[in-house]
Amino acid sequence: MEHRGRIQAQGKNLEESESWSQEFPPTCEDGFEMLKRLKEKIPKKEAKIREKSFEKAKKFIQNASETNGIDAPSSVTFRAEGYIKERIDIEVKKGRAFIKKQDQEEEEDTE
pTM: 0.89
Class of residue 22 by CB neighbours under 10 A (exposed 0-12, middle 13-18, buried 19+): middle
Domain boundaries, the chain: 3-109
Under DSSP, the state recorded for 26 is: P
- Which tens digit of pLDDT belongs to each residue from 11-32? 999 999 999 999 999 999 999 9
Are 70 and 96 in contact by the 8 Å Cβ rule? The answer is yes
Mean pLDDT by 10 residues, the chain (111 residues): 95 96 96 98 97 98 96 98 96 97 62 57
Please provide the average confidence, as pLDDT, over all residues in the chain.
93
Q: What are phi and psi of 107, to 5 degrees?
A: -65, -40
